Amino acid sequence: MADDVSVTPFSFEGYVKGVRKGTVSSMQIFKQVLCSAKYGFKCVADFGISRAMGFSFLHSLVDSSVEVHSPEHEVVIALGSNVGNRLQNFNEALRLMKKSGIYITRHGCLYETEPAYVTDQPLFLNSAVRGITKLAPHDLLKVLKQIEKELGRTDGIRYGPRPIDLDILFYGNFKINSEVLSVPHERIWERPFVLAPVVDLLGSSAENDDIMSWHSFTKQADGIFGAWDNLGGESSIGREGLRRVLPIGNRLLDWSKKTHVMGILNLTPDSFSDGGKFQSVDAAVSRVKSLISEGADIIDLGAQSTRPLAPRITPEEELHRLIPVLEAIQPIPELDGKVLSVDTFYSEVAATAVSKGAHVINDVSGGQLDPNMFKVVADLEVPYVVMHMRGDPSTMQSGENVLYENVCKQVSSELYARVSDAEQSGIPAWRIIMDPGIGFSKKSDHNLEILMGLPTIRREIASKSFAASHAPMLIGPSRKRFLGDICSRPIAEERDTATVAAVTAGILVERKLIVLQFLGYGADDKEHVPSQRTLMLVQGTGGIVAGVVASCITTPLDTIKTRLQVMDPEKRGTARQVVKRLIVEDGWKGLYRGLGPRFVSMSAWGTSMILAYEYLKRLCAKDEIKVLS
């Protein structure tokens, strides 16, 4: 450590004295630091356990004063840029940090923000990273200043434009004050564009002593979360000059503004849905034009079938199918402003596809089927879809791969493990899209539970990483077998209305808008709803909701409670009794009358009603509809 620096390890001095005197319990310490129900903090209820943990915690902090020269320290570094290619400046800064001995473990989301203090300048990009380093605080500062210099930063107006700005926000559990360095950063608590990505680096469950010390530095009862709430919290995202964005190509996508529709182009001869229809280049180009005219925002090209038991082809064969079409569709004017995604689990295919113009890599294996995928995608610097799947397409529906005790919690845990591995391999959280893998390693009931449980999946992931929990979510129920099982539609082409209903259910239950996977066809009943209208329903821009299934899958109890309020009092009973009566005595027509026609899309109600009917029967059978209070 330099002689001119004052380094103070974090400690609750007052609390320490109180504990020693017996006037303050370790339970109070932990309640002060950790107990925030709003953010899902996990609190220790048992006093004995809390007491033991509390004293261990305090001991580690007091002893940390002699560990200034310990091999490694956890740090948080803020990034900002508003000159030149802002995203490329971030990418290069991260590369140079890694080269200089800073191992990045987590990334915040990416934010485009209005400038503060000096307002007459371009918009900023802001984020933050967590990392591990052996560098002492002032050595770390020197490294960051050198990186700024290499990226073109010069002395200029304070708070003025700069190609890169790198600030040390936290260094271990120490407070540092010197002529050139203050940690925590002196203005961190007044800056939403700094606090937002700092919160992203945390989870709702405390992880270690360093993080507890970072919370304490705020002098807020709820720590960093309380400080963030004081600045507007999550409600300020999307306004107040603070947008959470996803970098795609040469633009920044604010994906929360609307639901984005992904149109699927299968280039395989054996896809379960439309295999063999679009293998010629001309047919594929025509299909892309059709998908775009029907409202697709993203075109996803797949040249390898991932249906259950599909044989695996080589990267060479996949590229042989993919590249001619990828090259042929790019000149068409309709593609302007659209996103091109390639569905592959081969790193070789991913690299070639991006070199030929693809913007996104969509990997159904989440990096499990090619050990080089994460590294390759990290170097490609493109968004990456991480999907949940157990095994591979040939084994994913085997007995052991479809066993779950709690499907939403287990999918959350396994999906986050893949996201974390991707992030530690160099793929920033701001480039990750999550997919819970509907139809992959799941039975029909599991897929329904996932559609209902999208908020649960986000919440479980948030306990480990808020950044990951904020990632765009892709769901793909299109024409899948579970819809056919429920609706008795063995032919994939006859599951379109059920697809619309399932997609709408996903939109309604997941309050944060979702990036959706959809094939863009019309309805399968005799009326043949136009595809444009179908997509309008999916995007949520029309006045019609695709069926009672959406309401039943998303909030069955709330829906039934609403209807119970206006039913004849003599016919009221528990929700379970009412639904059973509607189903058993009156069939689906009674269900339709009981829940109300306002929930039903008249052009797609047939399949939707069947889907709702079967789903509610399962709820009744499993006694999952409880007695109303």
- Catalytic sites, residue numbers: 153, 162, 165, 167
The residue written with tokens 């490694």 in the block is 72
The residue written with tokens 């493990």 in the block is 417
Which residues, in sequence order, are CB contacts of 365 under 8 Å at separation 6+? Answer: 345, 373, 387, 389, 392
Q: Give the residue among 451, 456, 454, 449 at the shortest CA–CA distance from 407.
A: 449
Element (H, E) at 584: helix 575-584
Q: What are the φ and ψ backbone dihedral angles of 564, each rounded to 5 degrees?
A: -65, -30
DSSP-based helix, strand, coil % in the chain, nearest 5: 45, 15, 40
Give the C-alpha separation, 521 to 518, whole Å: 8
Q: What are the φ and ψ backbone dihedral angles of 133, each rounded to 5 degrees?
A: -145, 155
Residue 467 CA from chain centroid, whole number: 8
Give the C-alpha separation, 269 to 265, whole Å: 12
Q: Would you say 516 and 262 are in contact if contact means Cβ atoms under 8 Å apart?
A: yes
Which residues, in sequence order, are CB contacts of 620 under 8 Å at separation 6+? Answer: 576, 579, 580, 583
Question: Judging by beta carbons within 10 Å of its beta carbon (0-12, 13-18, 19+), is residue 466 exposed, middle or buried?
Answer: buried
Planar angle of CA 234, 235, 239, nearest 5 degrees: 110
Q: What are the φ and ψ backbone dihedral angles of 317, each rounded to 5 degrees?
A: -65, -40
Tokens of 514: 């979702």
Planar angle of CA 202, 203, 208, nearest 5 degrees: 75
Give the C-alpha separation, 498 to 342, whole Å: 26
Q: Give the residue among 378, 387, 380 at the shortest CA–CA distance from 358.
A: 380
Convert 6-21 to b/e letters by CB count within 10 Å (16 or more is b). ebebbbbeebeebbee
Planar angle of CA 477, 479, 484, nearest 5 degrees: 105
Element (H, E) at 110: strand 110-113
Q: What are the φ and ψ backbone dihedral angles of 17, each rounded to 5 degrees?
A: -65, -40
Q: What SS3 class is residue 542?
A: coil
- Going from the C-alpha of 52 to that of each of 205, 208, 325, 364, the distances in angstroms are 19, 15, 64, 44
Whether a cis peptide bond, with omega within 30° of 0, leads into 269 is no
The residue written with tokens 């280049």 in the block is 281
Q: Would you say 529 and 499 are in contact if contact means Cβ atoms under 8 Å apart?
A: no
Q: Give the residue among 612, 618, 485 at the shortest CA–CA distance from 547.
A: 612
